[in-house]
Structure 1
């Protein structure tokens, strides 16, 4: 068996053991099903939802909010990171403001965004963007700062202009840092969408969880969390594919620079 196969086997075994122990504990009374419902009950609720069109509508709304927050936040963060990394004076001026904004718990912005943009998609996207942008910004900024000064000096001696430096030196060198932010960014985008839905929305997975929570329906809450976990794993797989494609772009660029 391959290393990957052994890992998958152990993961599946661990999952089965945890679920079996959980089910047994709830069945024997060691675990109160009111607070921690049986996995079998959660599975039945998920299967019941799967037969309804409403859950797919909720997933589509959450997916739309997540993708928009991820795309817009990443673009804004990368652009701001590149600009400030290459403009030391502007970075020095903006430094205290960036630190203050980053220290601000973004969850408290959800009611403000709901007031500004309403309870629709825009308020959830805005919250997700504030979470994603800072991750992309700091990774891009640090990646550009880590560029080997010898490489920069050689490119300048060869007459590389600002555009050529950005395309052939800074972006390829910072690519690893930018790619490392994608995994975290997709998670923060989901958090922004779901938290926004939970605090005020008429649809979405977060709204479904909030609705069950308001009815003290622990089975519904855990079923919503299960659907959300599967949703995040699917998105993570998509980001992994995107990361591999971007890595194949980065390799030729680095080889060109070294040549």
Structure 2
């Protein structure tokens, strides 16, 4: 009888508490300057004040909306174009240098251009987030389709499967695992697009709050904003994980999922 592996979440919580305790100890003894590194108890108090007063919700709502739109649109475009180019060798060969050039470009520098094109509203932040999410999903879908076994395709064709049946029963299931692998990274990139866009010009958003705090040297509010963004990024990633487990029940559980 195999021994059940121990649960890791208590150790993960203990590690987080240790990091906060070390942070508190180093700043309380002034080994690290509280002016530059903040005070963890003040940071947590600031977060509680934001949520208790409700002042954070308008800003958080804007950032989450920008993030979700960028995440969904970038994923849909990445899946659609990735499938198309993976199944169209001629189009893939023609687009290859342009795709590589666009991916090599540091896309954060597009933020000022999007601000000019789409204004300082939500659209410019979503556009930046889409460019960050798109390529992650695109390359994973493209590779997932290209990794389909030729033997499986040959057997399916021998059994009379047409192009639509191949797409539904072979290509899409093969690409699904690759898609969800990319989505875990895409969550963070969608938040990056939203926050960077808010840095460059906005009147609302958690990025805007962090920028205002930096302008007044309020390092505790900066860390508070970062922790709020991190918490909601982890929440969105957990939703992706839950969806992945429901849709990929046929896949054997990974070692991490058993712990």
TM (normalized to structure 1)? 0.92
Task: Provide the residue aligned with 1:80 in structure 2.
Answer: 81
Task: Provide the residue aligned with 2:211 in structure 1.
Answer: 210
Change (3 A) 1:127 1:153: same
Deviation (angstroms), 1:107: 0.6
Change (3 A) 1:199 1:3: farther
Structure 2 residue 111 is matched with structure 1 residue 149: no
Task: Provide the residue aligned with 1:111 in structure 2.
Answer: 112
Match of 2:31, SS state, is coil
Task: Provide the residue aligned with 2:177 in structure 1.
Answer: 176
Task: Provide the residue aligned with 1:219 in structure 2.
Answer: 220
Structure 2 residue 63 is matched with structure 1 residue 59: no
CA distance in 2, matches of 1:212, 1:3: 45
How many pairs are equivalent? 248
Deviation (angstroms), 1:140: 0.5
Deviation (angstroms), 1:178: 1.3
Task: Provide the residue aligned with 2:35 in structure 1.
Answer: 34
Contact 2:180 2:240 in 1 (8 A): no
Task: Provide the residue aligned with 2:10 in structure 1.
Answer: 9
CA distance in 1, matches of 2:159, 2:5: 46
What does the per-residue CA deviation read over 1:69-121, in whole Å, with 9 as the maximum and x for residues that have no partner? Answer: 11111110011111111111111100000000000111101111111111111
Deviation (angstroms), 1:159: 2.3
What does the per-residue CA deviation read over 1:5-40, in whole Å, with 9 as the maximum and x for residues that have no partner? Answer: 3x1221122222221121121111111011001101
Cα RMSD of the aligned pairs, angstroms, is: 1.4
CA distance in 1, matches of 2:175, 2:231: 31
CA distance in 1, matches of 2:6, 2:99: 41
CA distance in 2, matches of 1:159, 1:13: 56
What does the per-residue CA deviation read over 1:150-169, in whole Å, with 9 as the maximum and x for residues that have no partner? Answer: 11112222222211111111
Match of 1:34, SS state, is helix
Report 1:180-191 matches (<5 A).
180-191=181-192
CA distance in 1, matches of 2:26, 2:208: 30
TM (normalized to structure 2)? 0.92
Deviation (angstroms), 1:4: 5.4
Q: Which runs of 5+ in 2 are unaligned?
A: 252-259
CA distance in 1, matches of 2:114, 2:5: 47
Q: Which runs of 5+ in 1 are unaligned?
A: 252-259
Structure 2 residue 237 is matched with structure 1 residue 236: yes
CA distance in 2, matches of 1:147, 1:24: 53
CA distance in 1, matches of 2:178, 2:58: 35
Deviation (angstroms), 1:3: 4.2
